[in-house]
Amino acid sequence: IVRCPVYVHERAGDLHGFYGLDGSPPVGELAYVFVEPEWIGHGFGRGLVVHALGVARSLGYRELLVESDPGAEGFYRAMGADRIGERASDIAPGRMLPVLRFTL
């Protein structure tokens, strides 16, 4: 939160999810994407990503990278991201995380 802007989706005081943008144009990272489990499937994740892509474009980003949970890769690909590789998890030895790119 200190080093990158964080955006929150809330309604009537209920937090549904949030994301952060990190990096410097032209390449940034969509970081800290989270939707409260009871709100998954209600469109809040899609809304957060659409908002993030718009904000990133307005800030001059040309690409936005996502280091994804493997279970969320299909979501990001459905939103238009392309898989460009994978990275080893910092917290789970032996676990590989897909790396995806949104071209803005």
Any idea how long the chain is?
104
Q: Rounded to an integer, what distance in angstroms lies between the CA atom of residue 90 and that of residue 16?
A: 26
Tally the C-alpha atoms within 13 A of residue 15's C-alpha that lie toward its C-beta: 9
List, for residues 87-104, the tens digit of each pLDDT value. 999 888 999 999 999 999
DSSP H stretches of helix in 28-69: 44-58
The pLDDT value given to residue 3: 76
**Burial class of residue 17, CB neighbours in 10 A (0-12, 13-18, 19+):** buried
Q: Which of 12-16, 23-27, 47-51, 76-80 has the least mean pLDDT?
A: 12-16
- CA-CA-CA-CA torsion sign (33, 38, 41, 44): negative
List, for residues 43-60, the tens digit of each pLDDT value. 999 999 999 999 999 999
Asked if the bond preceding 93 is cis, omega within 30° of 0, the reply is no
For the whole model, what pTM was predicted?
0.90
